[in-house]
Structure formats: C-alpha cells, structure tokens
Amino acid sequence: QLAGTAQLGWGEPLALQVKLGWSHEYASTSLPVSATLAGAPSTSFTTYGLSPQRDGLLVGMGASTAIARATSLYARYEGLLSGSDSSHAFTAGVRMTW
C-alpha cells in the first residue's frame, strides 16, 4: 500500500492511495448446495455452482481532497481480478465533519 499527496494548483492537496495484494483460497473451491423441497422432504438433491478461482489479484486506489473547512470529496475503487472471475466496487461521496 502506498499513499501520498499531490499539489494540483487549487490550494488543497489531493490525497492519493494505491493498494496491491494477492488473494488465495485455501479451502475447497467446490460449492455444492444440498436441498429438499417442502412437499417432498425425503427427496434431496445437490447442485454445484461455479467454482471460484483459487488465486486473485487485489487492486485498490483512492483519492480525496478538502473543498471547505469541514467538507471533503472522496472516490475509491476496489477490485478482485481472478482469471475469468472479477468483482469491482466504486464509491464516491462527500464527507462532512462537525
């Protein structure tokens, strides 16, 4: 994880953060689900969903800056890249403190 600030000319510094990591699943990646129907409780069945990848790359980046005395803007991205699987999250907002 790296973090720092940059002066971009509008007065307030821009706080920057970059994160890089690795994710590994030690448990079994087979995900069976066993169930029964309410009308036939003695008959069960099992289904198998897609197995997640065992390894993945974690990435993240964010930025924030003050726009007033107690108000700042922020934006953040978090991602998990793993073969054909991936997940992405982006958040942005206004933070006000009092």
pTM, rounded to two decimals:
0.70
- Cα–Cα distance for residue pair 14/4, rounded to 1 Å: 8
Is 40 a member of any domain? no
Whole-angstrom CA distances from 96 to 4, 43, 84 are 22, 56, 39
Is 86 a member of any domain? yes
Summarize pLDDT for 14-68 with one digit per residue, the tens.
999 999 999 988 877 777 888 999 988 888 999 887 777 889 999 999 999 999 8
Is 33 a member of any domain? no
Is 78 a member of any domain? yes
Q: Which domain holds residue 75?
A: 2-24+48-96
Which candidate, 88, 89, 61, 91, places its Cα nearest to that of 73?
A: 91
Q: Residue 53 CB: number of other CB atoms within 10 A?
A: 17
**How many structural domains does the chain have?**
1
